[in-house]
């Protein structure tokens, strides 16, 4: 005898239905995070490429005041945000000469810029990791939540068999089939959560390397220009 999903749903107990609602909510939560993180990483990559291309000539000519507005405009770029933090610490917005030699009058400014870069790097790492903890939680607990519903479904099936006084596989097969639905749903929710968690963690590590490289290059660039 075959059961439709509607028939399974109507025959399920309160606990099994609660488990399905929890898994449905977890799935919506996970896919919301996935969509938001995907867009964030896409924007970061796109704006970083544009910022690097636009600012290359200004860096070569030592016109840091031109670089700062470019970095601030690329507000979704992880590299641009870190560079902007360092350049703002040089007080480029206070007016005066645009000559790089006159801006870098002391090592204190460069050290302050380096500290600002470090602080912003920590903020950017946290921003890139936002939501990944939720994906890890959903991926970890969803199979167990589904199994919880399955166990109670099987218990109800055996209780129904004991109440009816009849045995055999035919008596409990329908109940077991209904109970296993929650396990299948739990696994179905967990798989994409785990896959995208690993994907975003890998992307975050790659972006952190880009941040570290860019910030180190900026500090080295300032030190070289200051000693000319």
Over residues 114-156, the pLDDT tens digits come to 888 999 999 999 999 999 999 999 999 999 999 888 887 777 7
Residue whose C-alpha is closest to residue 196's, from 19, 16, 14, 27: 27
Q: How far apart are CA 92 and CA 74, in angstroms?
A: 18
Contact 57, 63 (CB under 8 A): no
pLDDT band of 97, cuts 50, 70, 90: very low
The pLDDT assigned to 90 comes to 78
Instruction: Give me the helices (H) in 104-131, please.
Output: 107-129
Which sign does the torsion angle of CA 157, 158, 163, 164 carry?
Answer: positive
To 10 degrees, the CA torsion angle through 95, 101, 103, 105?
A: -140
Contact assessment for residue 49 and residue 41, using Cβ atoms and an 8 Å cutoff: no
Position 172 confidence tier, pLDDT thresholds 50, 70, 90 = low
Which tens digits make up the pLDDT trace of 27-66? 999 999 999 999 999 999 999 999 998 888 888 777 778 8
């Amino acid at each position: 005898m075959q059961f439709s999903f509607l028939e399974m749903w109507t025959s399920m107990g309160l606990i099994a239905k609660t488990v399905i609602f929890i898994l449905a909510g977890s799935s919506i939560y996970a896919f919301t995070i996935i969509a938001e993180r995907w867009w964030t990483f896409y924007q970061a990559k796109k704006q970083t490429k544009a910022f690097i291309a636009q600012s290359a000539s200004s860096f070569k000519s030592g016109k840091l005041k031109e670089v700062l507005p470019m970095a601030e405009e690329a507000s979704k770029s992880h590299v641009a945000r870190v560079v902007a933090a360092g350049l703002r610490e040089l007080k480029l917005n206070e007016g005066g000469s645009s000559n790089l030699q006159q801006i870098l009058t002391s090592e204190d400014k460069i050290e302050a810029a380096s500290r600002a870069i470090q602080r912003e790097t920590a903020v950017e790492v946290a921003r890139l990791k936002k939501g990944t903890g939720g994906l890890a939680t959903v991926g970890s607990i969803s199979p167990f939540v589904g199994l919880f519903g399955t166990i109670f479904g099987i218990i109800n099936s055996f209780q129904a068999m004991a109440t009816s006084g009849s045995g055999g596989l035919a008596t409990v097969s329908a109940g077991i089939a209904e109970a296993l639905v929650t396990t299948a749903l739990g696994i179905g929710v967990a798989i994409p959560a785990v896959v995208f968690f690993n994907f975003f963690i890998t992307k975050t590590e790659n972006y952190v390397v880009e941040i570290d490289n860019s910030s180190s290059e900026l500090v080295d660039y300032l030190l070289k220009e200051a000693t000319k």
